[in-house]
Amino acid sequence: MAFTGNGSGGGGGANDRSESLLSSSQPNDDYYSKNHNDSTSRHSTSLGTNQGSEMIDPADDGAYKLDDDGQRGTPTSDDGSEVDVYFVKQRRGYCSILFSLVQTIILVVMMWQCGVAPLNINPMVGPYPDALNYWGAKNSVLIIDDGEWWRLLTPILLHAGVIHLLCNVGVQLETGAFFEREWGSAKWLIVYLTSAIGSSCLSTIFMPGNISVGSSGSVCGLFGAKLSEVFCRICESRRTSQGRIGHEVRMEQCRGVMCSVVLIGLFSFIPFVDWAAHLGGFLAGLVVGLMIFSFSVGNRWWVGIWFLVGLVLTVVFYTVSLKYMYNEVEPPEEMRDVCGYYKQFFEDYECNCQLNDGR
């Protein structure tokens, strides 16, 4: 969950059992498969509680049943029985790992440079709010009046504290990384960054008086994009093994995502949580995902239709949000001096990190 004001929260994640069907399409990667004859085996990298799964080494010719031409065909388990596999684009979620690493390093450096605030100021065990502002938090008055547009993106690299970081990074490295392995890093990165902008836009519109940080808006965008993928591929043929398994995986993911969205929605209305950032990220991921995953539709006419729908919705969402934000929102001037603002409420507040011009 996005941190706002002087408190914060952590994002939620989808408990996803579908990785028991996971496989990598890269020839040198391990993959996971679903063995219908084994109900006890489990693998350690599961997103949830998986049963009936085992790891097969694709470099091992004995793991495959040979076809009539002597080529490797259907994968088999140790006892020779055929197994179903679900192919993904890559072995690891490289961007998920990179962003999580950068977010962790930034929080450590920020706490070392600016100090750790008392728990009555920041219950997430992290720096003072003015330090977050100094490092690039969402601050409406600086975005709208001072033209610091980059603050629409930088909040995803910041977290309010250790607890906030662990919650968001945990989801990012589990569900987020799994989606990246399915989609590929390019699609994942597009959804992640565009959702960050949508998240900050709606946060600026509906909560202009708060300092906000956190990657949960982008994580919600991944959830929205997954729902768009499920929608675009709902009519995909299930006559092939991959079609059937892919449908099973996406249905499980859809249930997990819906559960996560409901939970995040409930937590979004407790104090100090930026519900607008969650909503903005989710909507951005939904419309951008519709455009991206329209190419997964088998019929080329439907590809064109859904791409056009996704493009129109994306343009409308960002155009309306940005226009309203810059023309209608009146950010409070008192947020220019974040340190002075919080000193009004906390006698023990220390200003260790401020912008050079004293803001």
Tokens of 256: 């997990």
Give the total residue count for the chain. Answer: 359
Answer left, alpha or beta for residue 333, where phi above 0 means left and psi between -120 and 50 means alpha.
alpha
Query: Residue 125: left if φ>0, alpha if ψ -120 to 50, beta else—which one?
Result: left
CA dist., res. 19 & res. 263, Å (int): 22
Residue of 159, 200, 212, 278 with catalytic role: 278
237 catalytic? Reply is no
Concerning whether 216 is annotated as a catalytic residue, the answer is: yes
Q: Which of 46, 199, 212, 216 is catalytic?
A: 216
Task: Provide the annotated active-site residues.
Answer: 216, 278
